[in-house]
C-alpha cells in the first residue's frame, strides 16, 4: 500500500478543511481503539495523565492527516463537493 501524498489545503476551502478534521477525528478514535492512547503511568498516572494522553492522540491524528492521511478526507471532500455542486 502506497502512502497518500500530502494534500495542499487552501484556507478559503472550508469543505476540504471540514473533511480533513473529520479524518483526524476518525484516526484519533482508531488510535484510541488500539490502546495507543492508554496512560502508562510514566508521569505518576491519574486523571491529568489520561487527559494529556487524549491530547497526544488527537495531535498525532492531525499530523497523520497533514502528512497525507489514509485518503479518507479526499474521498469525503470529493463526495461532498459533487453533492454541493450537483
Q: What is the pLDDT of residue 4?
A: 53
Q: What is the pLDDT of residue 53?
A: 84
- For residue 16, how many C-alpha atoms fall within 13 Å in the half-sphere facing its CB? 12
Q: Who contacts 50 (Cβ-Cβ below 8 Å, separation ≥6)?
A: 39
Q: What is the pLDDT of residue 43?
A: 61
| pLDDT higher than threshold 90 for residue 37 | no
Each domain of the chain, given as residue ranges in start order, spans 15-32+46-85
Q: What is the pLDDT of residue 8?
A: 55
Amino acid at each position: 500500500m502506497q502512502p497518500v501524498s500530502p494534500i495542499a489545503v487552501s484556507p478559503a476551502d472550508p469543505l476540504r478543511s471540514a473533511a480533513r478534521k473529520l479524518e483526524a477525528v476518525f484516526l484519533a478514535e482508531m488510535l484510541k481503539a488500539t490502546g495507543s492512547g492508554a496512560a502508562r503511568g510514566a508521569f505518576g498516572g491519574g486523571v491529568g495523565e489520561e487527559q494529556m494522553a487524549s491530547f497526544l492522540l488527537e495531535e498525532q491524528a492531525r499530523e497523520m492527516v497533514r502528512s497525507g492521511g489514509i485518503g479518507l478526507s479526499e474521498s469525503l471532500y470529493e463526495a461532498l463537493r459533487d453533492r454541493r455542486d450537483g
